[in-house]
Chains A and B, each alone.
Chain A
Amino acid sequence: MLALAWSAACVVAAYGYGAALARALRVRFEGSSERLLLSATLGLGVLSLLVLGIGLSGVLRAWVLWVALGGGGALAVLQWPGLLRRSSPQRGAPRLRLALMSAFGLCAVANVLGALAPPSFIDALYYHLLGPKLHVAAGAVVEIPWIWQTYQPVAVEMLYTLGMALDGPGLACVLHALLGLFAAGGAGLLAKALAGPRAAWLAALIAYGTAMIAWESTSGFVELGVAAFGTFCLYALLQWGRARARGWLMLAALFGGFAASCKLPGVVIPLLGGAVIVYLCVRARSGARATAGALLGFGAVAFLVVAPWYLRAFVWTGNPVYPFLPGLFGANAEYADLWVNLGHYGTGRGLLDFVLAPWRLVTAGDLFERAQFLSPIPLLLGPVILWRARHVGERQWLVAFAAAYFVSWFASAHVARYLVPLAPLLAALCADALLALWDEGSRLWRICAVAAAGPALLMGVASTLVYDAPLAKVALGRESETAYLTRTAWHYGLYRRLTAELPAHAKLLTSLGGTYYLDRPHVGMKPRGFKAGAEALARRILDGQFTHVLVQAGEQEAAVLACGAPVKLLWHHEDVLIQSRSFGGGIPHKVALFAVDGGVGRALKPGWGPAAPAP
């Protein structure tokens, strides 16, 4: 529970940095909720950059991070009077608002509690949290050559690094869960701007009260970062379109840059933001010079924010967007492999698949990895949203933005959770459509509004609670972490066994992913590495000074055995990999452990990390 106190300290520091930056840009906030949400989210982006700088400087120590937080805290003390300004009063049905706020609060508590459970989802164990764990152990942001994802912009992982260094994985995951709460706040602000104060809590709950957000908040992913930064980028553009104050444009650029800093596909946000700027300038007949100025200013600031990430990848690999664009920056083996993995989601890439994708996402979610966890309300209200966007104006460009983002999603991997960044925007459009249906006054139209929102919201809140229940149980100490992780985390039993049996100076070469709980120095190897021939594999094992080799039984085991004398089979281990943390199901799995003969690892320094130095 110390993690919750630390997370409050992080939010205060983030607010300090964000509010100071907004003040420097002369942004005038309308009320305290707008100020708090935008400043704290912006500040989390600033903190991610600070952690990157600290990590690349090789001084990733807790006391350095305390100083960084202290700086933000001091700025927060100077900025606190701004929080006293009240937001515009809420109007409308107070009971409905209370119900919406209560449901939202319930989901928020469940998600934050769930985030405190020890990490168990495979993607987090594979890289989202493994990378930060290795950085903290090394005291620096280090290169992890066997995980291509770590070459991407990874701003959320820098917040994970901050959380791990200060407290542990609980704080790390809570920081990401907070980004989800801020993103929902962004949905509320967008809805308020479009349809008035009544729409705010409705939009926030539509965006937040889904099993998808519960899954995201509790699994150590990164999409809630793109969602929060992306939504506030849009909100700032909306405000800039209205008042033309340059501060809002710069704020949009900062948020756009931070959205692009969360993962490579996040660059779509500032790119589409640029298109919005051109559209707004053309509509306002601003002239070519003013349009170019706004676009250049926005682009330059957004690029400046994300540039350290591209530069880092370029220095390490020669490709700023590694492993993508191999035609431009040189071929790499990862590119083909990653499409083998990502290509099997969805139903296809034809025109019909594109047209049917919204329907299939909502009605056949398993094809897109749990798309049924997304809210169906945007599809249910799709006709109303499109009808309301028929005239030129804010709704129209917001709908066009959502459509363009969806096209970019369809062009990449068809994984449902990659659509999470759209959820706040769609929720705002849904709240606007619902109020339009309600205010029209016809009983039939009101029935439509209730039928579209009621069951979906109830289902969303209920599935959030069902999803979070087993995670909250372990977070509250009602189930032991070992029992929980043995039940839910891939290879947990195997990694505990290895940690217990192997000496501290052991160094493993392994083909298994998700090595977060393997507390011995190790290096990963892709399956293609076992097809390079026995001689190449033996050289890899000996040159790497490995003491042990851990591989899947079968083909990989045979390839290691073919190396001959240097390796000796120690044992086999059989495992069942969990399919769903909530609903169970398992995949049988068998691995083999080899000892490397010749004692090449004897002189290795004890320690943790991918680059444990050889003498």
Chain B
Amino acid sequence: MDRKVVIGLLLLGWVLLVSAFHFQQFVGPLMRLLGRG
């Protein structure tokens, strides 16, 4: 596989992984804000 594709896939994986763990912190407060917590 092209080196750039490998780097791109690795970077995308990292971005998605960190984003998932980061944004899950807002689920609870958001639910509370919407009155469902």
* A residues with CB within 8 A of B: 359, 362-366, 372, 376, 379-380, 383-384, 440, 442, 444-445, 447-448, 451-452, 455-456, 459, 463, 466, 582-584
Set of chain A residues within 8 Å of B21, measured between Cβ atoms? 362-363
Is A451 a contact of B22 with CB atoms below 8 Å? no
Which of chain B's residues have a CB closer than 8 A to the CB of A455? 19, 23
A445/B8 in contact, CB under 8 A: yes
B1-37 interface (Cβ within 8 A of A): 4-5, 7-9, 11-12, 14-16, 18-19, 21-23, 25-26, 29, 32-33
- Closest A residue to B6 by beta carbon equals A444
Given A363-B25, A466-B33, A584-B32: A380 and B4 within 8 A (CB)?
no
Question: Which residue from A363, A372, A383, A444 sits with its C-beta under 8 Å from B14?
Answer: A383
Closest residue of chain B to A375 (Cβ to Cβ) is B22
A–B complex contacts, Cβ < 8 Å, 13 sampled: A362-B18, A363-B22, A366-B25, A376-B19, A380-B14, A380-B18, A444-B5, A444-B8, A445-B11, A448-B12, A456-B19, A459-B23, A583-B32
**Which residues of B sit under 8 angstroms from A456, Cβ to Cβ?**
19, 22
Q: How far is the CB of A423 from chain B (nearest CB, A)?
A: 16
Assess whether A448 is in contact with B18, with CB atoms less than 8 Å apart.
no
Are A448 and B11 closer than 8 Å at their CB atoms? Answer: yes
| Interface secondary structure of A, over-half rule | helix
Contact present for A372 and B18 (CB under 8 Å):
no
**Chain B residues at the A interface, C-beta cutoff of 8 Å:** 4-5, 7-9, 11-12, 14-16, 18-19, 21-23, 25-26, 29, 32-33
Chain B residue with Cβ nearest A580? B29
| A459 to B25 alpha-carbon distance, docked (Å) | 12
Cβ–Cβ contact B15 & A451, under 8 A: yes
Do B25 and A365 touch (CB < 8 A)?
yes
**Min distance, Cβ B33 to any Cβ of chain A, angstroms:** 7
B15 A448 Cβ-Cβ under 8 A: yes
The distance in angstroms between the C-alpha atoms of A456 and B22, with both chains bound, is 9
Instruction: Give, as a whole number of angstroms, the nearest-CB distance from B17 to chain A.
Output: 10
Complex contact A380–B19 (CB within 8 A): yes
Among candidates B5, B9, B19, B25, residue contacting A451 with C-beta atoms closer than 8 Å: B19
Partner of A444, one of B12, B19, B22, B25: B12
Name the CB-closest residue of B to A442.
B4
A583 touches B23 (CB 8 A): no
Contacts of A364 in B (CB 8 A): 25
Across the interface, name the chain A residue whose C-beta is closest to B28: A583
Q: Is the CB of A372 within 8 A of B12?
A: no
Q: Which residues of B contact A445 (CB under 8 A)?
A: 4, 7-8, 11
- Report the minimal beta-carbon distance from A430 to chain B, rounded to whole angstroms: 12
Which among A363, A447, A584 is the interface contact of B18 at CB below 8 angstroms? A363
Task: List 6 additional A-B contacts (Cβ < 8 Å) besides A442-B8, A444-B4, A451-B16.
Answer: A362-B18, A362-B21, A365-B25, A372-B25, A448-B11, A583-B33
CB distance from B24 to the nearest CB of A (A): 8
Cross-chain contact B15 with A380 (CB below 8 angstroms): yes
For the complex formed, measure the closest distance between the CB of B29 and the CB atoms of chain A, giving whole angstroms: 5
Complex Cα gap A363–B23 (Å): 8
Top-4 shortest CB links A-B: A444-B8, A363-B21, A372-B25, A376-B22
Residue pair A384, B32 in contact (C-beta under 8 Å) = no
Supposing A362-B22, A363-B22, A445-B4 touch, asked if A452 and B29 sit within 8 A by C-beta, the answer is no
Residue from the set B12, B14, B15, B29 with the largest chain A CB neighbour count within 10 Å: B15
- How far apart are the CA atoms of A444 and B16 in the complex, in Å? 14
Q: Bound complex: CA of A466 vs CA of B29, how far in Å?
A: 11
Query: B23: which A residues are within 8 A, CB to CB?
Result: 455, 459
Q: How far is the CA of A440 from the CA of B11 in the complex (A)?
A: 14
A384 partner, pick from B5, B11, B19, beta carbons under 8 A: B11
Contacts of A376 in B (CB 8 A): 18-19, 22
Query: Smallest Cβ distance from A548 to chain B, in angstroms?
Result: 39
Please name all residues of chain A whose beta carbon is closer than 8 Å to the beta carbon of B11 when the two chains form the complex: 383-384, 445, 448
A373 to B4, CA, bound (A): 33
